[in-house]
Structure 1
Amino acid sequence: MTKEIIKTDVLVVGAGDSGMMAAAAAREAGAKVILIEKENKIGLMRLSNAAINSNAQKRAGVSINKAELVEYLASFAQHNVDQKLLNIWADNSSETVNWVEDNILKPNGAHMRSEPDAMVTSPIYHGFPTENDSTIDDKSYVSYGAWFQEWIINHNIDLRFNTKLVKLIKEKNTVTGAIVETNNESYQITATKGVILCTGGYSANKELLKKWNPEALKKNVYNDSPRNNGSGITAALKVGALRDQEPAECIFDRGLVPIGTKTDEMFYQTETYENWLWIGSYPFLKVNLRGQRFANESVPYQFISNAAAKEPGYLYAMIWDSNYADQLEKFHMLGCAKFGFPGYMPSKQAFINDTNQYLKKGLIVKADTIAELAKKLHLPEEALVKTVKKQNQNYIDHIDHEFGKEFYRMSPINQKPYYGCILGGRILGTLDGLRVNEKMEVLDTNYNPINHLFTAGNDSGGFFWGSYPDRVPGLASSHAQTFGRLAGKYAAKN
């Protein structure tokens, strides 16, 4: 039973990348805004955001061909996306990044830095220099979540923590507000202009994963977004919304697990990226649980998890030698895995320190022979010795005879001690969501907009399919912020 009714123009549900931007845009457009968040703090504001032709990119002389990038994204998804939405993102991404720089970063002595280097030699996985990073010194990231929250408060947006969405209120074909709950007491918020759902997907909800994306529970041993329980999507479905019918997700290949782990026994939820191995994304030798190589290790992060899903046990081992730290920079990784800023590991020593902490925890093992290493990893000794021998011959030949990995991303395993670990996927978020039109309005099952219901971020669909295109650095966060900004603008116009 609701105890009161509160009126506003726009109600935004979820205070993450998309929700914060939606609330800010609606307020700038003159709307009265309530922003609710079920946790006791805002979500993590991503530090890298993609854009085409941002001010930072103009300063750096970075130029991106919009048509080429949009077609790449559509082709990456086998055109299982709404290409109109891709174009809308491309046309509005720079305005969003510029807004963050001008309104949040610059008043606090920070700015956006464009990352101009996206060289990837493979023509199949072409890289684009889309990344814009928040920084003060151009050498390290600066977090801006607290600054954004201050902006929200200073602009009289009613930010309510520990407040969750219970259900949407719909009259005929118009959403008029929502029932929400704070401290076990429910009340109604009437939103005269619109409700914007920004709750962030469903990766923390095992029942929804079983229903909509069961393979994710086998591919992934960690979920790094424990607040994303699907509440926005399920609330919209109850008022007749249309949802993507095929899953999409962002998976990182950095999930260290104890030797002997079974994927159907582990789905660990963590907000602190526990047991996150940075070199897990690097193209060292990776083998299945039978000690055999099974894929090109030089593919986008998620692809190795996809390939491992076709192997016994879904998990895989990574093998490397004591010269590994000297190999890292030549691999030329992109995004957060990059060697040095804007990667999160600033130096060779940082990678070594990260690896050593997991040696101490027993999640990485080392040995003086490959046979001994295989025994410690519970892998067939003869098979792993044979695989390593073949890997070293490939390096001598300058040709990957099995899977075609580029030579500059190959490395021998011939310097003891040898290292190994067992890895699985880490799901950062689900990317399939509610279908939307060009105004971020949620569509019903007849593909018509539900009046006054909007969505953005990982609650919104039609933009991703299958795997995440990590060779477009910062795309997920930019999609969330850009579409959040648009949703806020359109809702305020009602």
Structure 2
Amino acid sequence: MNKISRKGFLKIAAAAAMSGVTAGALAACNSASSSTASGAAGQYIPGTYEGTAEGISSTVKVTMTFSDSAVTDVVVDTSGETASFGAAAADELREQLLSAGSAEIDGVSGSTITSDAVMKAAKSCYAQAKGEAVVSSVQLPTGDTNDWLGKEPDIDEAAITETVDTDILIVGAGNGGMFAAAYAAKNGLNFRVIEQNANVQDTRHWYGAIDSAAAKAAGEQPADRAKLLSEISRYASGKCDQRVVKTWINESAAMHDFMRSILEDKYGWVCDFTSGSEATWPAENAEHNTDYLFPVQEHNYMASERESGLARNELLLQYIQELGYDVDFKTSLAKLEKNSEGRITGIIAQSTEDDHFIRYNANKGVLLACGGFPGNPYMMEQLDPLGTSVTTACSYSPADKGYGIRAAVWAGANLDKEAAPMLFDRGIVAPGVDAGYVDSDSAFGGKAFPGNIRQYNPGTQPFLKVNRNGERFANESSPYNDIVYAAAHQPGRVYAQICDANILEDAKRFHTIGCSAQTRNGGEKYIQGKMDEAIEAGALFKCDTLDELADKMGFTGAAKDTFLATVERYNELYDKQNDEDFGKPAYRLSAIRTAPFYGCWLGASLLTTEQGIAINEKGQALDNNNQPMEGLYITGDMSGSFFANNYPCLMAGVAMGRTLTFAMKAVKQMAGLDNA
């Protein structure tokens, strides 16, 4: 990074203090302490300097005093960190800094995140003492228990040491970003992609597309588009923009055609299309709620991915590289830029390797595809307190911390007001564990969900569910998130699932669809593997009697008596083939009589969030007056206007289908290729 003047650095530091950019406070205080880390005379500007960086759960501060040739004193403040780990490391980290003569120290075992923060803060102190400007990541802090949004960073012009000009800028190399890049590359457009991590992000394999070439080849009848539109709107309680939903319905087939032209025509992959009886609810379900559940045509290329050893996003990276493009990795969004008319003109980004700032000018527009915020506990607790309260495990990408959403809101974009988490009823935990965050020394923000297994797939099967009092409390035949929301009204916000030795036969009869079908389709080997993993983790119990199972599950006293009576009542309902208590379809009842018996405690597994920036049917971001923001497009989990309340998880693949459709739509709009 280029050196700037002392005056220029002070300006950056002052701006940082107001904006959340960690540049360190400057103070000119002479030191009286003796030197322990020496350098050449005149190497430093004598004085005391502060540097800060984000630790596990707090802002870590390092204060260093310099003579003209040495560090004479160090104060390390980690008081806000977890007491037994980060906070306890302060003295040892201080001694290491005093003797090292630089910010590069060994750190303290077991306190890696705090140690890294101390090193980064010390690096800022050294830079200040040398008259240089090193600005720590503008994305941190990400807010706190009172403010998830924080303030937009005010980055001094002198700190921007690189400029890149392009027509289209794509921020994020995940599912939406890589598909947008592939479409732009195919059309020979002038574009750049940036990604804050060192590689493309996880592929979400399944995607929904309506009346695609795959559907036609399978002999599917054309979808009832009006009904599908109505059902998605009803699932969102009418809080969606139906024009946005129609873009996916009407243009997803073209999205699949382009995906197919790459994966199948160029690389020989084979699409697995889910249709017919596999994607249809059994006829008996129609008597209850077929108008509520509307399956969608689902596509994936997983078999070909396994054969090639590449995930879809990795293959799309290879595709654009073969066409002469690439991704700027380790380059993180700091803020959006706009001109005097309010048009988004580009972004300021920051290298995660050396912290220097880069201006990306985007002549035709910026597409943000940065993901949701499931990995950010500040945002989760404040924007989705209900979803957070019923979650016990996570299967999200930890890189999804909502940075794109924050940058868009800073620029004036309108964030959906309704939470829409993607919650799967598979968050298995040990007895006595409550839903919600627990303290974690190693997790971002110092909080994590307690479950150690990302998803226990058999948890979705509609077996008997009871609360900690041993009582049944809901119809278990429901979309994934319904049972976990019902548990929000139960002790600990968790529930137990009970079944017997006929688990696989029952699962086949239940015929759940979407990804929960893996339990019945995977057969004995699959289900046994999932159960063995959970048993080893102490979260699933296999017992010869129900009495023993009750004890293992933690039921005691009146709760144990109630539990055993509830199982007996459930067997009576099975014998009657009539759920008189909660109205579950008869084919989804099951007897609990054949040993061994299985029991586990469950909550939600959080996959992602779908509460995002409001968009129109062209994919343009909307401002707080719901007017288009010129030059700014949004796709993926950080885009809004489509979902509310929760994700319609039984409409398999709709979220990823939406992501890919709007990725292509945005590029068409920016490049003038959309004739719609």
Q: Aligning the two structures, in what range does the TM-score lie when normalised by the shorter sequence?
A: over 0.9
The 1-side partners of 2:484 and 2:422 are apart by 11
Q: How does 1:76-95 map to 2 (within 5 A)?
A: 76-95=235-254
The 2-side partners of 1:428 and 1:106 are apart by 32
Question: How far 1:135 moved relative to its partner?
Answer: 5.0
Sort the Cα spacing of 1:275 and 1:53 in 2 relative to 1 into closer, same or farther, 3 A.
closer
- Matched with 1:462 is 641
SS at match of 1:263: coil
2:264 to 102, 105, 109: 105
1:298 to 464, 468, 477: 477
- Matched with 1:399 is 578
- Matched with 1:161 is 329
The answer to whether the Cα contact below 8 Å between 1:125 and 1:300 also exists between their aligned partners in 2 is no
Larger Rg: 2
- Matched with 1:356 is 532
The 2-side partners of 1:143 and 1:273 are apart by 25
- Matched with 1:134 is 301
- Matched with 2:432 is 260
- Matched with 1:118 is 279
SS at match of 1:34: strand
Letter in 2 for 1:118: A
The 2-side partners of 1:218 and 1:316 are apart by 13
Sort the Cα spacing of 1:28 and 1:110 in 2 relative to 1 into closer, same or farther, 3 A.
closer
Letter in 1 for 2:606: I
In the alignment, does 2:358 pair up with 1:199?
A: no
The 1-side partners of 2:264 and 2:390 are apart by 37
1:21-55 C-alpha deviation (Å, 9 max, x unpaired): 22223334442111111122212222211111111
Q: How does 1:64-75 map to 2 (within 5 A)?
A: 64-75=223-234
Question: How far 1:362 moved relative to its partner?
Answer: 1.4
Q: TM-score, structure 1 length as denominator?
A: 0.94
Q: TM-score, structure 2 length as denominator?
A: 0.70
The 1-side partners of 2:597 and 2:303 are apart by 39
The answer to whether the Cα contact below 8 Å between 2:393 and 2:455 also exists between their aligned partners in 1 is no
Q: How does 1:275-424 map to 2 (within 5 A)?
A: 275-339=454-518, 346-379=522-555, 380-424=559-603
Letter in 2 for 1:86: V
Question: How far 1:166 moved relative to its partner?
Answer: 0.7
Letter in 2 for 1:349: K
The 2-side partners of 1:439 and 1:460 are apart by 12
Question: How far 1:14 moved relative to its partner?
Answer: 0.8
1:104-134 C-alpha deviation (Å, 9 max, x unpaired): 2332221223211322223243332411121
Letter in 2 for 1:31: L
The 1-side partners of 2:329 and 2:554 are apart by 47
The 2-side partners of 1:137 and 1:150 are apart by 15
1:278-302 C-alpha deviation (Å, 9 max, x unpaired): 1001011111121111111110111
- Matched with 1:229 is 401
The 2-side partners of 1:273 and 1:198 are apart by 29
1:309-360 C-alpha deviation (Å, 9 max, x unpaired): 12121111111111212221111111111147xx8x5223211221122212
SS at match of 2:602: strand
SS at match of 1:402: coil
The answer to whether the Cα contact below 8 Å between 1:329 and 1:339 also exists between their aligned partners in 2 is no
Q: Which moved more, 1:237-246 or 1:132-141?
A: 132-141
The 2-side partners of 1:265 and 1:435 are apart by 28
The answer to whether the Cα contact below 8 Å between 1:224 and 1:273 also exists between their aligned partners in 2 is no
In the alignment, does 2:419 pair up with 1:247?
A: yes
Letter in 1 for 2:424: F
In structure 2, stretches of 5+ residues that fail to align are: 1-158, 439-446
The 1-side partners of 2:387 and 2:279 are apart by 29
- Matched with 1:187 is 358
In the alignment, does 2:656 pair up with 1:477?
A: yes
Letter in 1 for 2:425: D
The 1-side partners of 2:584 and 2:554 are apart by 26
The 2-side partners of 1:67 and 1:306 are apart by 29
SS at match of 1:132: strand
Sort the Cα spacing of 1:348 and 1:301 in 2 relative to 1 into closer, same or farther, 3 A.
same
Letter in 2 for 1:234: R
The answer to whether the Cα contact below 8 Å between 1:328 and 1:339 also exists between their aligned partners in 2 is no
In structure 1, stretches of 5+ residues that fail to align are: none
Q: How many residues align?
A: 490
Letter in 2 for 1:241: A
The answer to whether the Cα contact below 8 Å between 1:125 and 1:471 also exists between their aligned partners in 2 is no
The 2-side partners of 1:177 and 1:137 are apart by 37
1:60-106 C-alpha deviation (Å, 9 max, x unpaired): 01122111111111111121100011111101111111211121233
The 1-side partners of 2:225 and 2:657 are apart by 15
1:45 to 189, 203, 206: 203
1:178 to 347, 351, 361: 347
In the alignment, does 2:208 pair up with 1:208?
A: no
Q: Which moved more, 1:131-140 or 1:451-460?
A: 131-140
The answer to whether the Cα contact below 8 Å between 2:192 and 2:328 also exists between their aligned partners in 1 is yes
Question: How far 1:140 moved relative to its partner?
Answer: 9.7
The answer to whether the Cα contact below 8 Å between 2:391 and 2:449 also exists between their aligned partners in 1 is no
Sort the Cα spacing of 1:137 and 1:246 in 2 relative to 1 into closer, same or farther, 3 A.
closer
The 2-side partners of 1:166 and 1:129 are apart by 37
- Matched with 1:439 is 618
Sort the Cα spacing of 1:254 and 1:296 in 2 relative to 1 into closer, same or farther, 3 A.
same
- Matched with 1:27 is 185
In the alignment, does 2:378 pair up with 1:219?
A: no
The 2-side partners of 1:386 and 1:393 are apart by 11
Aligned-pair identity in percent equals 32
1:337-387 C-alpha deviation (Å, 9 max, x unpaired): 1147xx8x5223211221122212211112222232122112221111011
Q: Which moved more, 1:214-223 or 1:193-202?
A: 214-223
Question: How far 1:268 moved relative to its partner?
Answer: 3.6
The answer to whether the Cα contact below 8 Å between 2:179 and 2:316 also exists between their aligned partners in 1 is no
Letter in 2 for 1:37: E
The answer to whether the Cα contact below 8 Å between 1:319 and 1:418 also exists between their aligned partners in 2 is yes
Letter in 2 for 1:154: E
SS at match of 1:295: coil
SS at match of 1:108: coil
The 2-side partners of 1:490 and 1:230 are apart by 25
The 2-side partners of 1:115 and 1:392 are apart by 34
SS at match of 1:338: helix
The 2-side partners of 1:459 and 1:247 are apart by 12
Question: How far 1:437 moved relative to its partner?
Answer: 1.3
Q: Which moved more, 1:143-152 or 1:245-254?
A: 143-152
Question: How far 1:137 moved relative to its partner?
Answer: 7.6
SS at match of 2:493: coil
The 2-side partners of 1:264 and 1:362 are apart by 19
The 2-side partners of 1:458 and 1:89 are apart by 14
Between 1 and 2, higher relative CO (CA 8 Å, sep ≥ 6) is seen in 1
- Matched with 1:16 is 174
Question: How far 1:139 moved relative to its partner?
Answer: 12
The answer to whether the Cα contact below 8 Å between 1:281 and 1:337 also exists between their aligned partners in 2 is yes
